[in-house]
Amino acid sequence: MKFDILTLFPEMFTVFESSIIKRAKDKNIVDIKVHDIRDFTTNKHRKVDDYPYGGGAGMVMQAQPIYDAIDHLKSIYGYKPYTIYLSPRGRVFKQEVAKELSTMNHILFLCGHYEGIDERVMDIVDDQMSIGDFVLTGGEIPTMVIIDSVSRLIDGVLSKNESYEDESFSDSLLEYPQYTRPEEFRGKRVPDVLLSGHHAKIDKWRREMSLKITYERRPDLLKSASLSKKDIEYIKAISKKSK
């Protein structure tokens, strides 16, 4: 899968030169290319922003360098990649969106900065995305978040496909607790059911713990979760106990 990134700060993306994403790059499973928007400005001082019409605080990124950068990529690839602009106005990035994006072949991320970008750029943007209801200095960190989240859903990036199937949000539920050796640490023991070797009981315990943790910490997620009759009965039981 190909990712292209348009940014004013390409040096920030050295984060992809380590860990799981680096291994995926080395295996040619993902291809990440970073482009400096300043390379496409016609301004001799590499200026890419200007004051907004109508007045107001801050500066706005100009349309020309962004259009020319995207035209350059189109000339290389023969098409325009699916283009996402990171913006507070965008739809909120969630696990189901990560799954949607993981089926694509090529995504271009446009990282805004300052007070945003010239609205005329929106004519060549396919999607706008936000990672939450808070303000950041630019679109670089959200781009990193999305690429990391999407990449790990691509076959071969993780060592086993099952590695992400039971994780938080995979079924709109938070993940159950995990334990490893030793069996006892500072007086705290691993739950007996996990030592039993009884897979059906372990699966039941894990499901119930996911339901319990989600109910206690993110009850809003239960609205979109796929719940069985037993799940609903369990939630009702823990709800009564908490009252």
> What SS3 state is found at 179?
coil
Task: Report whether 193 belongs to an annotated binding site.
Answer: no
What pLDDT, in 10s, does the model give residues 36-56?
999 999 999 999 999 999 998
What pLDDT, in 10s, does the model give residues 198-234?
999 999 999 999 999 999 999 999 999 999 999 999 9
What pLDDT, in 10s, does the model give residues 78-99?
999 999 999 999 999 999 999 9
In the predicted model, is pLDDT for residue 160 greater than 70? no
- Which is nearest to 178 in space by CA: 163, 191, 165? 191
In the predicted model, is pLDDT for residue 162 greater than 50? no
Q: Which residues have C-beta within 8 Å of that of residue 43, sequence separation ≥ 6?
A: none
Residue 145 structure tokens: 């978040």
In the predicted model, is pLDDT for residue 190 greater than 90? yes
In the predicted model, is pLDDT for residue 128 greater than 70? yes
Task: Report whether 133 belongs to an annotated binding site.
Answer: yes
pLDDT at 105: 98
Domains with residue ranges and CATH for the chain = 2-161 (3.40.1280.10), 171-242 (1.10.1270.20)
Task: Report whether 78 belongs to an annotated binding site.
Answer: no
3-state secondary structure 67-135: HHHHHHHHHHHCCCCEEEEEEEEEEECCHHHHHHHHCCCEEEEECCECCCECHHHHHHCCEEEECCCCC
Instruction: Note whether 32 and 185 are within 8 A (CB).
Output: no
The partner residues of 222 in beta bridges, in order of sequence, read none
If you average pLDDT over residues 100-111, what whole number do you get?
98
Task: Report whether 154 belongs to an annotated binding site.
Answer: no
The answer to whether the predicted template modeling score (pTM) of the entire model surpasses 0.75 is: yes
Helix, strand, coil content of the chain in percent (nearest 5): 45, 20, 40
Task: Report whether 138 belongs to an annotated binding site.
Answer: no
Task: Report whether 116 belongs to an annotated binding site.
Answer: no
Cis amide leading into 182 (omega within 30) = yes
> What SS3 state is found at 184?
strand
Rg for the chain, CA atoms, rounded: 23
Instruction: Note whether 1 and 128 are within 8 A (CB).
Output: no
The pLDDT mean for the chain works out to 94
User: Confidence class of residue 172 from pLDDT cuts 50, 70 and 90?
Assistant: confident
Cα separation of 201 and 141, whole Å?
41
Cα 93–Cα 94–Cα 100 angle in degrees, nearest 5:
90
- Which run of H or of E encompasses 216? helix 199-217
> What SS3 state is found at 228?
coil
Task: Report whether 132 belongs to an annotated binding site.
Answer: yes
